Amino acid sequence: MNRRFNTFNLTALTFGFGFLYLPLLLVIIFSFNDSRLVTVWGGFSTKWYAVVLANEAYMEAAWITLRIAALSASLATVLGTLSAVVMVRMGSFPGRTLYSGMIYAPLVMPEVVTGLSLLLLFVAIGIDRGFWTITIAHVTFSMCYASVVVTSRLRTFDRSLEDAARDLGCSPFSAFCQITLPIIAPAVMSAWLLSFTLSLDDLVIATFTSGPGSTTLPMKLYSSVRLGVSPEINALSTMLIGIVASGVLIASLVNRRQERRLENETRAAAPA
Amino acid sequence: MIRFENVTKAYGSFTAISDLSLDIHQGEFFSLLGPSGCGKSTMMRMLAGFESVTSGRILLDGVDLTGMPPNRRPINMMFQSFALFPHMNVARNIGFGLKQARWRKRDIADRVDEMLALVQMENFADRKPHQLSGGQMQRVALARSLALKPKVLLLDEPLGALDKKLREETQFQLMDVQDRLGLTFIIVTHDQEEAMTVSSRIAVMKDGKLLQVGEPSRIYEHPANAYVADFIGNVNLLPVRISATDGELIDVTWGNGRNMVIRPQPEDRLSAGAQKTLVLRPEKIHVSKERPEEAFNINMVEGVVEEISYIGSVSTFHVRLDDGVLIRAQEANRLLASRREIDWDDRVWLSWRAGACVIIES
């Protein structure tokens, strides 16, 4: 026992937790603060939540954000899955390296660069910036994450299952829909949740690509903070933390359940 | 029924199958046998439609299959990994092909029941594949691939994932099913014993070419060349020179001028002085401590036991002759191993009949 819980390990753990969660914890605690002053505790209260929920500007921003997140996550998942299929199934084709490079590029590209380049594109083709441009911008970067998640699942997928379906009368498309998709569904699901939370979080790219009347919640939050931190912002942030955390949690739970099932199946499929 | 006509399959510069022609008849249990990488799986995948043919063509009942996708061919395949759909239960797995063919629900249910009965899995219809044992999965896979009443069933290493005991049982079950349905079965395997047990004819392949096609006994007893002889079972391959060619029995010399009488096959065209290879299977050689009785049609040599490998039913003796030639001989273990009369370093006599060996080209 001592080897696990010695002073060094405990100190390391405390620092780790401290750096990761202390700021978040403060926000959450002070969101239940009764006092008007942000950093002085004045007793427990949920009144700031009521204030936030009654604030139409916040609510409208939240509604836009959720719509963008859901729509961009859906599009990103479809595109990400398709690109994963291409990467895993097509073997080598001319331009494959470029293609895989382009898929992974947005993962490491500074958001400012992505945002700026999208802005230039939208200006160049003359689209009015707003709801749709933010959605498209979110699709471009979250489809990369979706693709990475689905690719890793597809790599371990037994090709002969699809061959068997084709042998029994399916076209390639129908084999994909009836056999492959249901089996990789948990990975697709977690790709969607990941894309959803990514879109929910985003401030930088949304700032570049938004237009009048399409302020997302992170943007709203940021602009309010510049006018001074108010307790209702704590409440709003806590709600955001809640949504994002549950999204990530569900995604990882889905993934873990799938892995465990996969493990059981492979164990059962490999007779001694 | 199935005809491969000058079929070639190339992957870039690598030729997997080169100019291969083969006929497989209705109702046969046909084996494609060879080491891994010999092209046997490629043959099967071309027949199923998963691989295209580079040149030549494949005919089924006179119809050219070239360009026909797998879902349109009246051929079904049982996969090595069984490839059962993990998200469907046994009944839905078996009915999958019927559903694709838009059978009516009632008809699908009837056919699924029929197939479950065929493989004796009636009580497992609602199980998911991961709740089945290896042998049960194999039977479901068989039922699924037979549900569509294909003209030909392809089996890719069907028993590779099963343990030895189960494999033997399953072999007989496969033969029984094939016999009852009268279908053409084509099996791909690298296991020569399996091929010998189940098939009516075997094609031995190497490097994308057919070395020999024939009945199991023909391939075992009269191999076309040294590779086939060596691939199928244990064998002594002895270089010999024909010394006399007249009469029913002929003389050959081998080793250090040793003489041997053999009974040639009618189709052997032998001329005196020709260098050939003699195929002598270990189980055809008798091992004894006493010198066997002389007879005009019996060959005998003396040597020292160098090695004995005991595998239960039989023992293989490695006997070094006085001139250095090593001969492997096999004896059934009629006595308990502890009572065995022959031991390491014993001097023994090996004897075999003139009709026990065959001559092949060197």
Q: Does residue A128 sit at the B interface (CB-CB below 8 Å)?
A: no
To the nearest whole number, what is the mean pLDDT of chain A? 86
pLDDT of residue A268: 56
Summarize pLDDT for B75-100 with one digit per residue, the tens: 999 998 899 999 999 999 999 999 99
By the 8 A CB rule, do B100 and A191 touch? no
Query: How far is it, in rounded angstroms, from Cα A230 to Cα B73?
Result: 71
Under an 8 A CB cutoff, do A265 and B132 touch?
no
Q: Is residue A33 domain-resident?
A: no
Q: Is residue A8 domain-resident?
A: no
Summarize pLDDT for A214-228 with one digit per residue, the tens: 889 889 888 888 887
How many structural domains does chain A have? 1
To the nearest whole number, what is the mean pLDDT of chain B? 90
Q: Across the A/B interface, how many CB contacts are shorter than 8 Å? A: 76
Token duo for residue A161: 């299952």
pLDDT of residue A165: 95
Name the B residues in 84-113 with CB < 8 Å from any A CB: 85-87, 96-97, 100-101
**B271 pLDDT exceeds 90?**
no
Domain CATH number, residue A243: 1.10.3720.10
Which residues in chain B have their CB less than 8 angstroms from residue A271's CB?
A: 133-135, 161-163
Name the A residues in 140-199 with CB < 8 Å from any B CB: 158, 160-161, 163-171, 174, 179, 182-183
Composition of chain A by helix, strand, coil, percent to 5: 80, 0, 20
By the 8 A CB rule, do B267 and B273 touch? no
Q: Tell me what ipTM this predicted complex has.
A: 0.83
Q: How confident is the model at residue A272 (pLDDT cuts 50, 70, 90)?
A: very low
* For chain B, percent of residues with pLDDT exceeding 70: 100
Which residues in chain A have their CB less than 8 angstroms from residue B69's CB?
A: 166, 171
Q: Is residue A50 domain-resident?
A: no
Under an 8 A CB cutoff, do A167 and B71 touch?
yes
**B261 pLDDT exceeds 60?**
yes
Q: How confident is the model at residue A231 (pLDDT cuts 50, 70, 90)?
A: confident
Rg value, chain A, Cα: 23
Summarize pLDDT for B33-53 with one digit per residue, the tens: 999 889 999 999 999 999 999
Under an 8 A CB cutoff, do A268 and B79 touch?
no
Query: How far is it, in rounded angstroms, from Cα B125 to Cα B94?
Result: 9
Which residues in chain B have their CB less than 8 angstroms from residue A180's CB?
A: none
Which residues in chain B have their CB less than 8 angstroms from residue A163's CB?
A: 50, 70, 77, 79, 83
Q: Is residue A36 domain-resident?
A: no
Q: Does residue B220 sit at the A interface (CB-CB below 8 Å)?
A: no
Summarize pLDDT for B178-202 with one digit per residue, the tens: 999 999 999 999 988 889 999 999 9
Mean pLDDT of A167-180: 93
Range of the domain at A192: 56-269
Domains of chain B: 2-230 (3.40.50.300), 234-361 (2.40.50.100)
Summarize pLDDT for A55-104 with one digit per residue, the tens: 888 888 989 999 999 999 999 999 999 999 988 888 778 888 888 888 88
Mean pLDDT of B339-357: 89
Specify the pairing of strand B75-78 against strand B152-156: parallel
User: Mean pLDDT lowest for which of A33-37, A85-89, A124-128?
Assistant: A33-37
Query: How far is it, in rounded angstroms, from Cα B344 to Cα B315?
Result: 12
Q: Is residue A5 domain-resident?
A: no
Mean pLDDT of A7-23: 85
